[in-house]
Amino acid sequence: MVVRGAERPHLRRCVELATAALEAGAEPFGSVLVGADGTVASSEQLGTWPAELGVPAPPVRPPAVRDVAPDVAVEGPVPELTGEIRALHRRFHTGRG
């Protein structure tokens, strides 16, 4: 996946939102929807990490972005942010938030 320079601030904002959520006691999730013109509006994520951490599956599976918005281009994950995001989930699921 190629991350264009204009996308980096939006991706960084997602990590900031996930960190803030974790620090507030919620699940570490941050999402920003960005239009083709760069307009920010507000995410398919977390496929295997909870299971890897021994977290039971939720009673209701959240829909994937591609199911909700099939005509929207979805790219990711971004390798340079994956470790940081995974660490947030590890903190949340091990009670070290």
pLDDT at 27: 84
Segment 76-96, tens digit of pLDDT: 667 788 888 889 888 988 887
- How many structural domains are present in the chain? 1
Exposed, middle or buried, 97 (CB in 10 Å: 0-12/13-18/19+)? middle
Is the CB of residue 81 less than 8 Å from the CB of residue 17? no
- Domain containing 51 equals 5-93
Entry pTM: 0.57
pLDDT in tens, 22-51: 888 888 888 877 777 776 654 444 456 677
Give the integer Cα–Cα distance in Å for 87 and 91: 6
Confidence of residue 60 (pLDDT cuts 50, 70, 90): confident
The predicted structure's pLDDT at residue 34:
77
